[in-house]
Structure formats: C-alpha cells, structure tokens
Amino acid sequence: MSGSAAAPLGKDLLGLEPLTAEQITLILDTAEPFKEISERVIKKVPTLRGATIVNLFFEASTRTRVSFEFAEKRLSADTVNVTSSGSSVQKGETLVDTARNLEAMRIDMVVIRHGASGAAQFLADRIESNVINAGDGTHEHPTQALLDLLTLRDHFKRLDGLKVCIVGDVLHSRVARSNIWGLKKVGAEVAVCGPRSLLPNAIDEFEVEVFDRIDDAIAWADALNILRLQLERMQGGYIPSLREYNRVFGVSSERLERAPRDLLILHPGPMNRGVEIDSDVADGPFSVILDQVTNGVAIRMAVLYLLSGGKPELAEVAKGGGSR
Amino acid sequence: MKSGMLLQGGRILDPSQKLDEAGDVLLLGGKVESLGGRIDVGARDDVEIVDCAGLVVAPGFIDVHCHLREPGREDVETIVTGACAAAAGGFTAVCAMPNTDPVTDNQAAVGFIIRQAARAQAARVYPIGAISLGQRGEALAEFGEMVGAGAVAVSDDGKPVASAHLMRTALEYARTFGIPVADHCEEPTLANGGAMNEGIVSARLGLKGVPSEAEEIMAIRDILLARRTGGHIHLCHMSTRGSVELIQWGKERGISVTAEVCPHHLSLTEDAVEGYNTNAKMNPPLRTAADVEALQKAVRDGTIDVIATDHAPHHYDEKEREFADAPNGIVGLETALAVNITWLVARDIIDVATLVDKMSCAPARIFHLPGGNLRRGSVADVTIFDPDAEWTVDPARFRSKGRNTPYAGQRLRGRVHRTIVDGRAIYSTNG
C-alpha cells in the first residue's frame, strides 16, 4: 500500500509521527501557493477536477469538516459528506463494511474523522483510496498540526529552534500528539504544561520539556498552543473543577504580561473562553487563532494535491491562471 | 481397537519423578503399565507399537485456563472443538473458565460441561465454577455442589473480584473443598476501559492504557487474603515484573499462592500492538521487554508454577474492527507448546524438563487433577512431541473455531506428535 515515487507522501496521511522532516516541510511549502486561491474573487482552480472525495465524519466537527470541504471544492473535486447520524453507521454497520462500500463506489480519497484511535489506519489498510486522517480518537490530527506549523512559520519565519509549549489536556489530545511529532521533526523545541493527571504517564519518553506551572511555561516559550479542555474531563475525575483549572492553568493577559517576551498564542478551537484561555488573550494582539483557520484550508489543499499525485514543484502552476 | 500402546524408544521425561531417560513406555487398560528400558510385549497383537525415536514422551499437558465458550457462544468455540484443539496442542486435559452464557455458577451448568466433554472424545475438560453468582461479584456461588458435579476450582475470570470481602470469603469457603480460588487480578477503577499496557506505546497510539499496578494491587491483595485465610489463591495470567516480585514475597512467607503465566506474555511485548493489531489485544495486556524477561526468569526459578494458555477464541469479524472496541484474547491451545519451545527452550531460558513440569506436572499438582506423571498405575495421559520440528502457524488449519492469533505466519519450533488420553490416541500427526 506504500506510495510510489510519484507520491511524495505515500498513499495516506495518517499522522505526523511516520513522516520525515522533509515531507512535513514539503507540505508546508506546497501550501504557500495555495493560500492565494482563497484570496481570489473566484476561489476555484481545476486541479482535482473529476476526483471524488468522501468526507467521512463519525464525530461531530464543524471547523475541520468545513475546512476540508472548502479545500476540496476550491480544487474542484466532487465531494460527499457522510456523518454518523443519518448513515448506515447509525444502523450498526461496521467500519470495515463502510470501507468496503466506499471502495465499491470507486472513490479517490477519504477524509475520516473517528472517535477511535487507529480508525484512519484501519481504513487505509483496507482500501486502495487515499486516506486522510482528520482526527482519530486520541491518536493524531495531522492536518491540524500542519496548519499550526504553517502559522508559526508565517509569524517567526522559521521553525528550527522555536520554543513551543502545548498547554492543557495532552493525555486526550490528538492535536498535542501531532504537534509534538511535527514540531520535533522540524527542529523546534517542544514543551507541555498541564496538570499531571492530564499528561500521559510516559510523557518523559516523548522527550519534551514538562512544566508543572503555567508561569514557568510562559517564561520559557516563544509560542503557546493552548488545547481545548474537554468539559467531560471534569466529570471523568481528572480535574476538580473548570474554575480551578482556569486559576491554575488558564492563560490570562496578566500572566502573559509577566513574560520576558511577547508570546504567540495558538488554539485549535473550539475555545472555552474563561477556562483554558481568557477572552482578552484570545482576542488580543498576539493571537493567531483565526490565521490558523485560514491556513487550515491551504494546508488541506496541499495535502489533497500531494496525495493525489500532484508534483510539489508544479503547485504554483497547478493552481491555474493568475489571480483576478 | 488395540487395548494397549507401546511407546518405543523415546526420551521419557517425567519431572515429577525426576525421570529423563531413553526407553519404552507401555500403556495398558488406560493406565501406565510399565516404563523404562526396553519393554518386550512379545507377540501381543492388541498392543500398538509407536516409534518414538527422536521424540519426547511426557505426561499429558494440562491447561488450567481456557475459554471454551459453550454454552453461549457456540459460534466461536464449543466444548467439542475446544477439546479437539486442546488435543492437537498436546493437551490431555483443560480447565474451562466459567464466563459462559449463562455463567457456569451452579451444579447443573457444571454437569452440562462434563457431559459435552464426554461426547468430544478428545481432551478431558474440567469445569471451573464461578466464585460469585452470575460473576456479578456479589453473592458466593455454591462451591460444594459445583465440586460435587465435577468442578475443580472456582474463578470469576474475565471479571475481577472487586470486593476484597468476597475474595476473602471465597478463600475461606473453598478450604472445605480443597480447591484453589483462581483470580483474574485487575483493579477495575485503574484498568477502567484500558485497551493495552500503559506506557509510551499506548501514549503514542492514543490508546487508553492499563498500568501494571492494576494487576499488582490485586495480586498483593489476594496474597494477603490467602495469608489471612489459609486458602489457596491461584493467580491467573501474571503479566508484570512487579507481580513476580509479589509472588516471590508471598512464597517466601509460606503463603499458599500459586501463579500462572501465558505463552504470549513470555514471548511478546506491547510493541506487537503497533499498527493497532487487534490480535495483540488481550487482558492482561502485553507488557514491556523488562516484564517479559522477569516472567521468563520466574518460570525458570519456580516463582511461577504453571504455563496456561488463556485460550480465548473470538469470531474473526469481532477482531476486525477499531482497536478499542475489539474483544480481548487470543487462541492459544494449538500454539502453546511451540511458542514455549521457541521462546524459552530454544533460547536456553528453561530446559525441556522444566517446560513439561510447567505444562503438566505442576498443573496436575496444583489443581489436584489426575495425570501429570507417568508413574506405574497412573492414568495413561501422555503427550509425545518433537522438540525440534519446525512448522509455520496457519490459523486456517486450527481445530479451534478461533483464528485470532498473533503468531500467524510465524515459523515455530516444537510440534505435537501424538496426544493420548486413557491410553487412546486423541490426536496424531499421522491421522
């Protein structure tokens, strides 16, 4: 199932852990020319005309699903959205049967979001189509991390040596895992900060810095990537209350003002304002949260383009005529 | 049918009497008639001559831990197919865990298993009764009546006994009947939905982990309760280095604790889960290389008494799914001997005699079962195997209905040549 030489990423994008630094940089570089398409009046190029893509979302998602759909449509692919409600999945169909049925319809690509870790690989191992992981359980969410990297690179003009701290529920976060792999591979320094009950017990084996106190993380970092605190973690007994979480780990402008330098603020969304991030930080001058969203479309266009066999060096040409 | 069998020229290996010599074994009337040296049966034509040159002749293997799924899941295994799979794996007897549907928690259910096993005409099947009614962890099942019907031990295997009080009572009550209480050690609030060992692999794969302490906390609880009550605790499928240390601690103090380990925990690590391989999903989970090494050493030094399979057949499509949702367990009856020889004997961790002790003598001794030795007059349950023959695991050829094995396609060493129960061949490589 491995990709040919013509496919620089292989058949699928399942995570950043298996990728090389060169592959990650290639995706980021390929995204650059695609950024411009979204700025046009007519936001459409014929690059993927005739390609059929299924967006298979077994978990609720607005941002990621819409971002993928725009990326696909702006590349002129034919897309179908399948969500768990109203599909055969609700009738108890197994993932393997869903996969076989999709395959039988001769589709070209599947974008899958699923609550079970490994679901994207499960699908990729069983169908010929390209599979893009749009988030599998608590495993990986590679396109999110790629858009985070692109946003960091846009701002700092480099990733090598950059100090990025991921704050919050690393234990249950696929965004955190993909960011850790991606950042480390391109030479950034990575730290995590959060209550130990929300960090993997084996966090040291990831070879990242660990900060128990948010103030220490802020003093160290160039950028913070603040994870959403899933409200069910409180019911799960991992933390006593959202209120205390905010007091101990919440990123506030007061805390940021004590930092030796201005910190770039990222958040994969959706935000719990007043829990992991205060509104004045989210809406403040160093927040690039909406830039992340904009970059998300370009990153996904780049991934779709590269997986479909597009030549990286032709991305500029592939996007078609000049801007209007 | 011939009434006897002369096992000629094999390596007779019976650790229970420290016997390891070349010679013949004569089985007559379902008993071991004589053994050692050259045995001449003259012109008797009712005695089958079995050439055992190059083969080991050992007391029949006994698996104290398997799941035969009947009643309830006859689609994945029956007592007949399970007993035949056991025979093919060299087992002359197996103990069937009570997590059937309905649960084997009363004398009628025990009797049903005994009757089905008699029909199988394969390996002997000894039922293990439930500790608690419905394995619900509340009220004690009727140990006395179950033992009367043929149960040889009690266990709530598959469900941990969460209540320390219930475990204490079970250990006390079991003393009347002289049976072991076998426990699946798992602290349920720590294990809580975990799908594999907790560590770097689970953290990377984004799978909920089960820490070693979930097992170890219950292992030491059970050992302490055995000390308090004088009951016999048998710790099922030990998987961690810490558990080995705790068992050692208990044994040094003369506490009545015995322990088993499974071939997969002696051969595989959590790395086998990579790629979300559901055939590497079991409970307790595969652990780390340090755990495997400690378990191997514990088999060698006697801290662990028994190697048992935890044979757990599942339908193939139950395993063909998302890792977290796939059921725990693998089939083990038909690969146990070869896995043990390949990973333990061929690598000089234990010798063949120790292996026979762990797979035959010790299980018989601990669960008070017939067999486990080749003494004159003993039951003629014998396993003949070739410790050097290599073969490739092909699940499609299993007698078990289960195909769920992490060893598929692997080349293993050690092959069963013939399995004999009551002096009668129940499995033979040549038909």
**What's the confidence (pLDDT) of residue A144?**
98
- Beta partners for B210? B197
Cα–Cα dist B290/B115, whole Å: 43
| Structure-token pair, residue B141 | 């099942």
Query: In this model, does residue A4 exceed pLDDT 60?
Result: no
Q: Mean pLDDT over all residues of chain A?
A: 92
**What's the confidence (pLDDT) of residue A217?**
98
Cα–Cα dist B322/B251, whole Å: 41
Contact residues, chain A to chain B, C-beta under 8 Å: 17, 94-96, 114, 116-119, 121-122, 125, 136-140, 174, 177, 200-203, 205-206
Cα–Cα dist B412/B394, whole Å: 11
For chain B of 431 residues, list the mean pLDDT of each consecutive stretch of 10. Answer: 90 97 97 95 90 98 98 97 98 98 98 96 98 98 98 95 98 98 97 95 97 98 98 98 98 98 98 97 98 98 98 94 95 98 98 98 98 98 98 98 97 98 93 41
Neighbours of B338 (CB within 10 A): 27
Confidence of residue A86 (pLDDT cuts 50, 70, 90): low
Give the gap in angstroms from C-alpha B162 to the nearest C-alpha of chain A. Answer: 20
Residues B122, B124, B129, B134, Cα dihedral to 10°: 0
SS3 for A181-238, per residue?
HHHHHCCCEEEEECCHHHCCCCHHHHCCEEECCHHHHHHHCCEEEECCCCCHHHHCCC
Q: Which tens digit of pLDDT belongs to each residue from A157-171?
A: 999 999 999 999 999
Which residues lie closer than 8 Å to B321 by C-beta, 6 or more apart? A94, A95, A96, A122, B278
- Using CB atoms, pick whichever of B198, B211, B323 lies closest to residue A117: B323
**What's the confidence (pLDDT) of residue A323?**
38
Chain B residues within an 8 Å CB radius of A207:
none
Residue B239 to residues B174, B204, B261, B307, Cα–Cα distance (Å)? 25, 21, 7, 12
**CB contact at 8 A, A42 and A324:** yes
Neighbours of B164 (CB within 10 A): 13
Chain B residue with the nearest C-alpha to that of A171: B203
Query: In this model, does residue A234 exceed pLDDT 80?
Result: no
Mean pLDDT score, A219-246: 90
**CB contact at 8 A, A150 and A131:** no
User: In percent, how much of chain A has pLDDT > 90?
Assistant: 80
Residues A79, A84, A88, A94, Cα dihedral to 10°: 110
B310 classed as catalytic: yes
Neighbours of B348 (CB within 10 A): 8
- Beta partners for B386? B415
Give the gap in angstroms from C-alpha B336 to the nearest C-alpha of chain A. Answer: 29
**What's the confidence (pLDDT) of residue A230?**
82
Chain A residue with the nearest C-alpha to that of B207: A117
Give the gap in angstroms from C-alpha A37 to the nearest C-alpha of chain B. Answer: 35
Check: pTM over 0.90? Answer yes or no: yes
The secondary structure of A16-78 as a DSSP string is STTS-HHHHHHHHHHHHHHHGGGGSSS---STTTT-EEEEEESS--SHHHHHHHHHHHHTT-E
Query: In this model, does residue A2 exceed pLDDT 70?
Result: no
**What's the confidence (pLDDT) of residue B42?**
86
Q: Which tens digit of pLDDT belongs to each residue from B294-327?
A: 999 999 999 999 999 999 999 998 999 999 999 9
**What's the confidence (pLDDT) of residue B306?**
98
Which residues lie closer than 8 Å to B405 by C-beta, 6 or more apart? B279, B330, B331, B332, B335, B393, B395, B398
| Structure-token pair, residue B265 | 């925990």
3-state secondary structure of B182: strand
Q: What is the Rg, in whole angstroms, of the alpha carbon atoms belonging to chain B?
A: 21
Who wins on pLDDT, A318 or A279? A279
Query: In this model, does residue A79 exceed pLDDT 80?
Result: yes
3-state secondary structure of B264: helix
- Using CB atoms, pick whichever of B200, B203, B322 lies closest to residue A116: B322
Chain A residues within an 8 Å CB radius of B207:
117-118, 137-139
Q: Which tens digit of pLDDT belongs to each residue from A282-305?
A: 999 999 999 999 999 999 999 999
Query: In this model, does residue A61 exceed pLDDT 70?
Result: yes
Cα–Cα dist A180/A202, whole Å: 14
B317–A206 C-beta distance less than 8 A:
no
- Using CB atoms, pick whichever of B198, B275, B325 lies closest to residue A116: B325
B321–A202 C-beta distance less than 8 A:
no
Cα–Cα dist B83/B100, whole Å: 16
Q: Which of B63, B157, B310, B381 is catalytic?
A: B310
